[in-house]
Homo-oligomer: A and B are copies of this chain.
Amino acid sequence: MIKKFLIKAKALKPKLTTTEISVDADKTPLGDGDHTVLDFGDHFVGKVKIKFSFVGSPPDAPAFVKLKFCEHKSELDEDTTNYNGWISKSWIQEEYVHIDDIPSELKLERRYAFRYIRIDVINISSKYRLVAEKATVVSQTSAKNEVKPYGEDETAKKIDKVALRTLKNCMQYEFEDGPKRDRRLWLGDLRLQALANYETYNNYDLVKRCLYLFAGVSEKNGNIPACVFTRPRVIADDTFMFDYSLLFIPTLLDYFTATGDKATALELLPTALRQIEIAKENFDGDVVRDSDKLGWCFIDWSLELNKQCSAQAVYIFCEKSAIKLCSLLGVKTDELEEDVKRKTEAAISAFYDKSLNLFVSGKERQLSYASNIWMCLADVTGKENSINILARLENTDAIRPVTPYLYHHYIQALIDAGAVDKAKKTMYDYWDGMVDAGADTFWELYDPNNADASPYGSRAVNNYCHAWSCTPSYFIRKYFTGGKND
């Protein structure tokens, strides 16, 4: 814990903007086993109040109700009783509440992320029926301004609207990964949110706060954890990811590029550079250890993915960011440059399959989009070859991306390689697929070929509003401008 960084982070804690939105219920009298649904018409994050009345005799016993908060319509009828996945069932937004006084307004203490509320009456006296009158959400965000959906065509505008809402609803006291789950700051998500934020809400202080939070909770050796808890007090998670720690560097570079805030960049530079030193401990010579010895390196939620090659590429990508940042700040880069040269050469000799003209990963020489995307982002074999690599991949059985997170990197790699049209088509196909499937905000997971996809054992715990899916707003404004930015 570095106290001076945490003090700065605390000073930057935003005031949230709140807005009250109410909807009328259908006012059906509800007896034992009955239910009703409230639809807020869009995705909201906030605390909820529900007004109840009754019909019949005076309520002579409390009403015991179940409240289910759903981000997506499909959750309304989803049976969650048998959920047995590997992350806690406690994430499912279901509450069981006794209502003692009727009529009254039930004020729930917790914050929810939802569009729909399903109210089930579990137990009620036979002498009366419960009536849901009206529900109100005190919607909250640290996005200060509204941003108008933008795009060179209707599809882009449609996608942008949903992406903007995704980002806005993840902007709370920190950039959260998902306002339903985990409701906290992860480095991989932060980097993408910050990129979208620079093009839209421009809440630079929120990025700055998050950078100081990560730096502030770094380990004694300087290692930055993958995630920070801020409630009930600021502490580091004991989860470290090879890639997430390193991604602090480009996140700081992007912040400096967007803001020109040299003081912050200089103050956090040593923490950033330290991640490279720590990452080096995972190398044998200039080649990073194989997946099984590397610890957790996220890259994507694909469970079969070998991550050795991607890890090497992330290292090079981040070291190049470090070189750029140091140059901008007037800090010497000789050692970094020498190291990145060695790591790049090692990457090619260890992972580049000359017969395939593609990168492969691990002992099994596994072919995946992930390895090649990251090697292209790290610009290991040059822009010309990148475009060929990305095109060549399509005719293989390479493991495909499963999250919008890796899709983001795929699109960025296509753009960096100059395949902007292909990038745009990929983005349209993927993100518009979610819009067509009823997204008000973009999802944590989306597999166009498998609606039930979840790395957790059930989509009941998936997020339907997830930070790393918000980058269409970044791509649309930065690259897909119909020539406006040229």
A residues engaging B (CB < 8 A)?
Answer: 57-64, 86-91, 95-96, 98, 100-104, 110, 122-126, 181-182, 227, 229, 231-232, 235-238
Report the bound CA distance from A165 to B373 in whole Å.
73
Chain B residues near A90 (CB-CB < 8 A)? 61-64, 98, 122-125
Q: Distance (Å) between the CB of A457 and the closest chain B CB? A: 13
Q: Distance (Å) between the CB of A216 and the closest chain B CB? A: 15
Q: Are A229 and B58 in contact (CB under 8 A)?
A: yes
Name the residue on B nearest A109 (C-beta).
Answer: B109
Name the residue on B nearest A106 (C-beta).
Answer: B109
Chain B residues near A124 (CB-CB < 8 A)? 88, 90
Chain B residues near A96 (CB-CB < 8 A)? 95-96
Given contacts A123-B89, A124-B90, contact A232 B101 (CB under 8 A): yes
Report the bound CA distance from A103 to B235 in whole Å.
12
By secondary structure, the A interface counts as loop
Name the residue on B nearest A91 (C-beta).
Answer: B61
Q: Distance (Å) between the CB of A235 and the closest chain B CB? A: 5
Report the bound CA distance from A102 to B125 in whole Å.
36
Report the bound CA distance from A232 to B58 in whole Å.
11
Can you name 19 A-B residue pairings with CB atoms under 8 Å? A57-B237, A58-B235, A60-B182, A60-B229, A61-B87, A61-B88, A61-B90, A61-B91, A61-B182, A62-B88, A64-B89, A87-B125, A88-B123, A90-B98, A90-B123, A90-B124, A90-B125, A98-B110, A103-B232
List 7 tightest A-B contacts by C-beta distance, closest first. Answer: A61-B88, A64-B90, A96-B96, A89-B123, A101-B232, A90-B123, A88-B125
Most buried by B among A61, A64, A88, A229: A88
Report the bound CA distance from A122 to B80 in whole Å.
14
Chain B residues near A229 (CB-CB < 8 A)? 58-60
Q: Are B237 and A58 in contact (CB under 8 A)?
A: yes
Q: Distance (Å) between the CB of A127 and the closest chain B CB? A: 8
Chain B residues near A182 (CB-CB < 8 A)? 60-61
